[in-house]
């Protein structure tokens, strides 16, 4: 998650590049397995048809898993434009582009949510608490490392002139807003 500040605007980008590398790996290797038994690989004709179908099915499952990871890891961009008095969230992903805009006065707080990831590691998300809406994650991707995410949360709260709320594992269900 990166921040850029220019004049009266703050931009927060979340480009989940490591997720996309994982997607490329799943889709690439999965495609080889899905297509390999049907002539893409040499000596494929020596395999029995049930074995070909099994190998191809496992490859197709790998491709599906990669696309599932991609669907959950869109590029997210949040812009706070104090001069225009607007807050805008854009997401680009497998399902296309999503955009939503609010007046700055709709922001009530910035929430730093902590959870547990694999191997009991701490993971974090930043949510916008907006008037009349469920909390909305700035990005649907969870991040490791408290300090960098906390820095972004505090800078965002400062730009919106609101407080940062911290919540632990049992935070209420949030609306994922196009994720």
Q: What is the pLDDT of residues 57-93, one digit of tens each?
A: 999 999 999 888 888 788 899 999 999 999 999 998 8
Q: Do residues 81 and 143 both lie within one domain?
A: yes
Domain count, the chain: 2
Q: Do residues 123 and 146 both lie within one domain?
A: yes
- DSSP line for 86-125: EEEEEEEETTEEEEEEEEGGGEEEEEEEEEE-GGG-EEEE
CATH of the domain at 80: 2.30.29.30
Q: How many CB atoms lie within 10 A of CB 132?
A: 7
pLDDT digits (tens, 9 = 90+) for 121-149: 788 999 999 999 999 999 988 888 888 99
Residues pairing with 100 in the sheet:
89
Closest CA to 99 of 172, 165, 178: 178
What Cα–Cα distance (Å) separates residue 108 from each residue in 9, 29, 160, 161?
Answer: 18, 46, 9, 9
Backbone angles phi, psi at 177, to 5 degrees: 50, 70
Spacing of C-alpha 81 from chain mean position: 23
pLDDT of residue 137: 92
Where do runs of H (alpha helix) occur along 10-89? 17-35, 49-71
Range of the domain at 35: 19-71
Residue 178 lies inside a defined structural domain of this protein = no
Residues pairing with 110 in the sheet:
128, 164
Residue 30 lies inside a defined structural domain of this protein = yes
Residue 174 lies inside a defined structural domain of this protein = no
Which residues are CB-contacts of 178 (< 8 A; sequence separation ≥ 6)?
74, 91, 93, 95, 98, 100
Which run of H or E residues covers position 4? strand 2-6
Cα 27 to Cα 15: distance, rounded to the nearest angstrom: 19
Residue 58 lies inside a defined structural domain of this protein = yes
Residue 177 lies inside a defined structural domain of this protein = no
Q: Which of 120 and 5 is assigned the larger pLDDT?
A: 5
Cα 145 to Cα 133: distance, rounded to the nearest angstrom: 28
Predicted confidence band at 163 (pLDDT cuts at 50, 70, 90)?
A: very high
pLDDT digits (tens, 9 = 90+) for 3-37: 999 889 999 998 887 777 888 888 999 998 898 88
Q: Do residues 11 and 99 both lie within one domain?
A: yes
Residue 114 lies inside a defined structural domain of this protein = yes
Q: Do residues 11 and 41 both lie within one domain?
A: no
Predicted confidence band at 168 (pLDDT cuts at 50, 70, 90)?
A: low
Spacing of C-alpha 56 from chain mean position: 29
pTM: 0.72
Is there a contact between 111 and 156 (Cβ–Cβ < 8 Å)? Answer: no
């Amino acid at each position: 998650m990166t921040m850029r500040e220019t004049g009266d605007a703050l931009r927060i980008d979340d480009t989940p590049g490591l997720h996309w590398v994982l997607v490329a790996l799943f889709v690439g290797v999965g495609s080889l397995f899905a297509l390999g038994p049907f002539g893409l690989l040499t000596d494929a004709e020596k395999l029995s048809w049930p074995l070909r179908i099994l190998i191809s099915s496992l490859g197709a499952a790998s491709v599906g898993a990669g696309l599932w990871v991609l669907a959950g890891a869109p590029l997210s961009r949040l812009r706070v434009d104090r001069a225009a008095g607007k807050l805008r969230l854009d997401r680009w992903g497998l399902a296309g582009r999503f955009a939503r805009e609010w007046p700055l006065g709709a922001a009530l707080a910035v929430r730093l949510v902590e959870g547990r990831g694999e191997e009991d590691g701490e993971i974090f998300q930043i949510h916008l608490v907006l008037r009349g809406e469920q909390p909305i994650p700035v990005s649907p991707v969870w991040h490791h490392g408290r300090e960098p995410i906390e820095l972004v949360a505090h800078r965002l709260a400062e730009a919106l002139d609101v407080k940062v709320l911290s919540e632990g594992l049992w935070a209420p269900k949030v609306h994922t807003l196009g994720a």
